[in-house]
Amino acid sequence: MIILGVDPGSRLTGWGILEARGPAFTRHVDNGVIALGNGALPARLLKLMNSLEMIVSKYGPNVVAVEGVFTAKNARSALVLGHARGVALLVAAKNSLDVFEYAPAKIKKAIAGSGRAEKFQVQTALQLVLGLPEPAQADAADALAVAFCHASNMCREKILKGVST
């Protein structure tokens, strides 16, 4: 299974591709950051959509994993972030991809062992678990962490189904 993890943002959107083949095998394929600039929001959202479409076309993911909505201190920032999340969901739907959403604490716990892990702890854990030569950039690391959380969750569900049958 190829998993596209997305960490949506209105200026920077992280993305990460993982291949998951079971409980003991999750492989890093690629990751990056889509820099959307400071232009008008509609233009940034269009750039985000086009960039995500290219990533989906290039890697052919089976599913998309996105960080769930969280409470922001600034309502305007939360609204703009919601627009970016909406673009990621739209690209997934347009390509008939299932979307899985995970809470930030669950993502951090899946990769770093603590739902309160700091960004550098997530980056370091990803580097170790995925065998990266250096820590991924923060936004890309967040996207990889979402994809890793989905891979872990998917494997756990398969194991539990095997135990219950």
- The answer to whether 139 is a known catalytic residue is yes
Catalytic residue among 98, 139, 142, 157: 139
The answer to whether residue 67 is catalytic is yes
Of 120, 117, 118, 126, which Cα lies nearest the Cα of 146?
126
φ, ψ of residue 151 to 5 degrees: the values are -60, -45
CA–CA separation, 38 and 86 (whole Å) = 19
Catalytic residue among 19, 30, 53, 67: 67
CA angle 12, 16, 21 (to 5 degrees): 165
Q: Which of 7, 30, 53, 157 is the catalytic position?
A: 7
Catalytic residues: 7, 67, 139
